[in-house]
């Protein structure tokens, strides 16, 4: 029975102070192997200071079909944005 190496998603912290960002995926047999492969595939030019790997099968994602019901409630709360409020120029920077 032929089996492929599991898929891992790779996240890299580009610089100190930034959050990890998804950069792509790769195949590896376990977490240590995934980190080693991620170093070779995604950081050949010092693109990162820290690597996270996550088994792709363990990621739960929102469904594109839920776009409406998930994000609609934000549409009618424009007062959450600072530009909603008019502050006179005389007040200065705020």
Instruction: Decide if residue 61 touches another protein (CB under 8 A).
Output: yes
Residues 6+ away with beta carbon under 8 Å from 28: 5, 6, 8, 34, 36, 37, 53
Candidate residues 18, 21, 30, 87; the one interacting with another protein per rule CB under 8 A: 30
Instruction: Decide if residue 24 touches another protein (CB under 8 A).
Output: yes
CA dist 93 and 87 (Å) reads 9
Quick one: 2 or 81, whose CB is closer to another protein? 2
CB of 25 to another protein, least distance (A): 5
What three-state secondary structure class fits 18?
Answer: coil
Instruction: Decide if residue 27 touches another protein (CB under 8 A).
Output: yes
């Amino acid at each position: 029975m032929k089996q492929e190496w599991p898929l891992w998603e790779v996240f890299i912290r580009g610089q100190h102070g930034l959050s990890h960002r998804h950069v792509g995926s790769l195949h590896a047999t376990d977490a240590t192997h995934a980190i080693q492969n991620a170093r070779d595939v995604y950081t050949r030019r010092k693109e990162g200071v820290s690597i996270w790997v996550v088994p792709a099968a363990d990621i739960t994602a929102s469904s594109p079909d839920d776009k409406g019901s998930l994000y609609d409630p934000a549409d009618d709360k424009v007062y959450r944005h600072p530009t909603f409020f008019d502050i006179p120029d005389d007040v200065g920077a705020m």
